Amino acid sequence: MQPKKFGLIGHPVGHSLSAAMHTRVFREMNLPHTYEAFDVQPADLRSFIESTGLDGANVTIPHKVAVMKYVEQLDQSARDIHAVNTVVFGGQKIGHNTDGVGFSKSLEEELVNPAGRNALVIGAGGASRAILVSLMGYNANVTLTNRTKGKAEALVKALNAQDKIRVIDYNPESLKAALQDTYLIVNTTSVGMTPNVGYSPIPKGTLKNGQVVFDAVYNPLKTQLIKDAEEKGCKTISGVNMLVHQGAQSLRIWLDIEPPIQVMKDEVLKNLTN
């Protein structure tokens, strides 16, 4: 089999969990392919994309939107989310976005179905966008809150979802009111992420038994929000699952294989706890 080359394009890329995860899949499945991280400055993105010998790439912060200009085609997922995290090179470069699938598969494997139910999303950055699009796909009743309310409103407008997503203030009172009858709570902010551990984006007192709490943050594995949710008897889902499932979807697109999900999770967890 002809070895193929894959990589992660970001800045900074640091110690890449994606490289560890994909390399492990190739080893596990006896595939000769390779995956490595490339630290590419914004000013160098275009030339990197145009001259790289890669067969496929994942794209991460800060290039997910900028890279859209440098591919010839956008898959529906990239058009919906308005960002690209996966590129297929070849005759034509095609941009995809697997973050939405990563999110929905993370819910499905925990048998969480937000269809027709109330969901609260906290944060209005890049991670929020894919999650909002995914939740709208389920026809969930979505409420969005963000420290900077104007950014939440701008995001809803950009998604053309003014009649589908309600924006509320980010303060303890309005969070408490909204969480009274919320089934799924999704944190997409960086609150609680290493090194700022110990903080949660919502007061613990607003959480209730029976709710599902999804934290897109995966470092640390047990964020303050996840710890609070566990104490309150909520079902919890870690950002590790979304990382794994978006990576698995990229592999399906590049290679038409069905990757070993548990092996990928184990590899990420190994790299997080070491």
Indicate whether 251 belongs to the interface with ligand ATR (CB under 6 A): no
- Residues of span 120-149 touching ligand ATR by CB under 6 A: 123-128, 146-148
Amino acid at 150: G
Burial of 103 (0-12, 13-18, 19+ CB in 10 A): buried
Among 151, 164, 166, 235, indicate the residue that binds ligand ATR (CB under 6 A): 151
What are the φ/ψ torsions at residue 220 (nearest 5 degrees)? Answer: -75, 165
Size of residue set near ligand ATR by CB under 6 A:
16
Query: Does the annotation mark 232 as catalytic?
Result: no
To ligand ATR, the closest distance from the beta carbon of 134 in angstroms equals 14
To ligand ATR, the closest distance from the beta carbon of 262 in angstroms equals 26
Q: Taking CA 243 as the corner, what is the angle to CA 239 and CA 249, rounded to the nearest 5 degrees? A: 140
Catalytic: which of 4, 64, 235, 270?
64
From 76-84, 186-194, 221-229, 245-253, give the range in contact with ligand ATR by CB under 6 A: 186-194
Question: CA neighbours within 13 Å on the CB side: how many for 238?
Answer: 17
User: Residue 176: left (phi > 0), alpha (psi -120 to 50), or beta?
Assistant: alpha
To ligand ATR, the closest distance from the beta carbon of 13 in angstroms equals 14
Indicate whether 190 belongs to the interface with ligand ATR (CB under 6 A): yes
What are the φ/ψ torsions at residue 179 (nearest 5 degrees)? Answer: -80, -10
- Give the interface with ligand ATR as residue ranges (CB under 6 A): 61, 123-128, 146-148, 151, 188-191, 201
